[in-house]
Structure 1
Amino acid sequence: MPPRKSLKAMPMLHQPNNPPASSWDRLASTSLMPSACHSRTWLEPMFEHFRHHNAKLITPDNTPLQAVASLDHVTLPGGIRLPIAQTWDNGYLFSGTPLISADNPQAALVNLLSAARSQMNVGAVLFRKVQRHEIFEQILQQVHKQSDIAGFRLFNSHQRAALQCHHEFDHWFNENFSRKRRKEYRRLRNRFAETGNLQSLTWQPCDPVEQWIEEFLLLEAAGWKGRHGTAIASNSEQTAQLRHALPQMAQNGSLLFWKITLDDKPVASMFGFLEQDQVWLGKMAYDETLSQFSPGVLVILDATRDLLTRKDITLADSSADPDHPMINNIWRDRLPVADYLIATPGTSQTKFKALTTLYSARLQARQLAKTAYHKIRKGLKK
């Protein structure tokens, strides 16, 4: 893998006091817990292109840069703000793990929480979809005992599909699937190849990435997401963010991209992000008119082969929902994930307990509303 390159920073329209690019990049590459979602090349374009938000980039006033988190307020219906900050919930931050300096991480975390309290006037911070690193929970226990932190609580604990990158592909394939399933995957690929010139391609740093991005956008828009208006190409802000972020990530060596083509036409495409020794899958698109050949499954298998070939990767996070029907049946490793609600310095135990109760009630209300909505939709379809 080529060495990372230093990138010229683009201005962030909504954050005039963003940290220097070199400091941010250095923190991302050495952070206690890797977090591609909080890298400058992915997060900065969000602040530039996502116009309608109240999110803030929170960084302590320390040199060198100690921590980075992108936070917004937890709100009730009607936009009523609670005194709780949370990971910016925009659909693109599939991991809320903050960047925390590995050099004195306890102080870095406390300073980050203090910055959130002073800049957002909150009594607690909710870091959403955080991998449950043992070292992070040890640090939380330490700051709870040694600092003015009233406590922390976990919500929404679950597991999502992951890939431990410790074996060669053939070993993984044989151990992961039954003989019948292996035969079926080979049959699908062979049948697919009979329809034309089928190629599996991995993006290389010498390739222009812009073509891969545009092919992905067109492929996704041609499917059900396009019909429902949820494809990236249906949203000008998301499209601009992706066109801005992915070339930056390609330039500094943190972008992974795979596709399958049939007679030179893309039929499946997926990208991911590399930070330190970990990968996160991003978005996938495939030609739904060819679903009998399962192109989405095949591109995941191709990506798996590529990931298991690399020597600089130890873990790949699917970034998927815990009950995702496709990836759960392919990647059998599981990664524990949770939302961490942590008191900010100065919040009393009584107030933190009240905030915890309030947030729990909000979650229950949202779940009841979601259940009622799906029941109504189901009834209307009868």
Structure 2
Amino acid sequence: MRGRLIGLDALTQRDLGAWRELAGRALEPNPFFEPEYVLALARGLGQQGAVSLAVAEGRGDWQACMPIGTGRWHRIPLPAVSTWRGHNLYGLLGTPLVGRENSREALAALLQATLKGHRSCFTALEWVTSDGPVAAVLEEILRGARRVPIRFETHERAMLRRREQPDYLERTLSSKHRRELRRQRRKLSEALQGDLRTVDRAGEGAAVDGLIELEAAGAKGERGTVLAAAEGHAAFFREMCRNFAEQGRLQLLSFGTSDQALAMKCNLRAGDGLFMFKIAYDEEFSGYSPGIQLEVDMLDVFHKTPNVDFMDSCADPNNAMINRLWPDRRALVTHVLRRGGATEQLTRPVLLAARSLRECNRRRKS
């Protein structure tokens, strides 16, 4: 097994084929590390020349892969290699793509490539799932590491796991709250003088632009945290949606009447999972909770989607709305692996101090 680093701007057609093939047989799906997502995001952010892929190769195929960046990480004054998430709004999961065969050897080669490929003091693996098959392999590797890795950060976020019966809402909301949502929906239908329904508009360019516009019209638009805030971000979203739609792996759900979208949601499909990317709603109708109405419909869409066993909210851990609606949780962890050399004695105390400061800031905000 051989590990190496490849710049995004140096990828060949053969490389792209190997990357897609690996994503299709990965131990755990991660659409945010697939070429249809990574390349579109790097182009949108203008970072094609700043991103590399760490790759493990064996028997002529790619066996593991993850995008990486170099430089400062979380303002720590030491050179680092870290998972490339591109932007805090769009880097939603950091689990490497790892093949089902020779997974331990492949992941070990991948990590070695990141530690030896640049003049850095450490490698940071951000937002890796902590309870899946990749985590099991990773923990085995880390237990045998010469230098004890640092568990820098952990957090949980909402997710859905398939059940035999679609009783997801009954598990999380009281009967009183469910009645209130039904009342709001009825009143909204009366106000608009039309039937309300949720439809999938994947593949419609107008629907993609509609979500961009709907998101920009709300409070997020004023804060500048929307796709429309920068042309490159909107261009990334359009390209990414087009890529996944062409493969039949895009959900672009629209809730409203036949001629008016009140809430929209973008999900990506990979393996046996759905991954939420964006949701937006018309704040003019916030009294009727259109965003929550769409999420309620999403529970039914999820249960009826064949060959899907889970859905990752990809939401902030403190997102009260989704935490209340979705009964399950997914844990993510960030590991830091130190590199040997002259700076080794300095690296550990600096990382531990940075972790303590980060934990203090999180407690203060919560």
> What SS class does the counterpart of residue 57 from structure 1 fall into?
strand
> What SS class does the counterpart of residue 123 from structure 2 fall into?
strand
Query: What residue number does 1:380 align with?
Result: none
Query: What amino acid sits opposite 1:312 in the alignment?
Result: N
Please, which of 233, 238, 246 is the counterpart of residue 241 of structure 2? 246
Q: How does 1:226-375 map to 2 (within 5 A)?
A: 226-262=221-257, 264-343=259-338, 347=340, 354-365=346-357
Please, which of 195, 200, 203 is the counterpart of residue 197 of structure 2? 200
1:34-79 residue CA offsets vs partner (Å, 9 max, x unmatched)? 1111011111112222115833222235420111111123516889
Distance change (3 Å), C-alpha of 1:339 and 1:74: farther
CA contact (8 A) 1:124 1:352 kept: no
Query: What residue number does 2:181 align with?
Result: 185
1:209-237 residue CA offsets vs partner (Å, 9 max, x unmatched)? 21111000000010112122221111111
Query: What residue number does 1:136 align with?
Result: 134
> What SS class does the counterpart of residue 191 from structure 2 fall into?
coil
Please, which of 48, 62, 67 is the counterpart of residue 65 of structure 1? 62
Query: What residue number does 2:3 align with?
Result: none
Query: What residue number does 1:4 align with?
Result: none
Shift of the alpha carbon at 1:115? 2.0
Aligned: 1:46 with 2:38: no
Q: Distance in 1 between matches of 2:132 and 2:220?
A: 37
Query: What residue number does 2:10 align with?
Result: 16
CA contact (8 A) 1:35 1:275 kept: yes
CA contact (8 A) 2:29 2:97 kept: yes
CA contact (8 A) 2:215 2:226 kept: yes
Q: Distance in 1 between matches of 2:168 and 2:223?
A: 37
Shift of the alpha carbon at 1:208? 3.5
> What SS class does the counterpart of residue 347 from structure 2 fall into?
helix
Q: Which runs of no fewer than 5 residues in structure 2 stay unpaired?
A: 1-5
Shift of the alpha carbon at 1:149? 5.1
Distance change (3 Å), C-alpha of 1:77 and 1:310: closer
Q: Distance in 1 between matches of 2:204 and 2:118?
A: 38
CA contact (8 A) 1:149 1:343 kept: no
1:114-170 residue CA offsets vs partner (Å, 9 max, x unmatched)? 222233333432221221125334323433466x6534332221211111112333x
> What SS class does the counterpart of residue 139 from structure 1 fall into?
helix
Q: Distance in 2 between matches of 1:22 and 1:319?
A: 27
Please, which of 105, 108, 123 is the counterpart of residue 107 of structure 1? 105
Q: Distance in 2 between matches of 1:13 and 1:199?
A: 48
Q: Distance in 1 between matches of 2:137 and 2:110?
A: 13
Distance change (3 Å), C-alpha of 1:308 and 1:353: farther
> What SS class does the counterpart of residue 198 from structure 2 fall into?
strand
CA contact (8 A) 2:184 2:289 kept: yes
Distance change (3 Å), C-alpha of 1:301 and 1:57: same
> What SS class does the counterpart of residue 270 from structure 1 fall into?
strand
CA contact (8 A) 1:151 1:352 kept: no
Shift of the alpha carbon at 1:185? 1.4
Question: Aligned-pair RMSD on alpha carbons?
Answer: 2.8
Q: How does 1:34-183 map to 2 (within 5 A)?
A: 34-52=29-47, 54-62=50-58, 63-73=60-70, 75=72, 80-91=77-88, 92-144=90-142, 150-169=147-166, 171-183=167-179
Q: Distance in 2 between matches of 1:121 and 1:233?
A: 37
Distance change (3 Å), C-alpha of 1:26 and 1:86: closer
Relative to its length, the structure with more strand (as a share) is 2
Query: What amino acid sits opposite 1:118 in the alignment?
Result: K
Shift of the alpha carbon at 1:274? 1.0
Distance change (3 Å), C-alpha of 1:73 and 1:21: closer
Q: What TM-score results when the alignment is normalised by the length of structure 2? A: 0.87
Query: What residue number does 1:210 align with?
Result: 205
Distance change (3 Å), C-alpha of 1:60 and 1:149: farther
CA contact (8 A) 2:54 2:67 kept: yes
Distance change (3 Å), C-alpha of 1:248 and 1:103: same
Q: Distance in 1 between matches of 2:21 and 2:345?
A: 37
Shift of the alpha carbon at 1:108? 0.9
> What SS class does the counterpart of residue 34 from structure 1 fall into?
coil
CA contact (8 A) 1:255 1:272 kept: yes
Distance change (3 Å), C-alpha of 1:267 and 1:277: same
1:63-98 residue CA offsets vs partner (Å, 9 max, x unmatched)? 201111111235168895423423435121100111
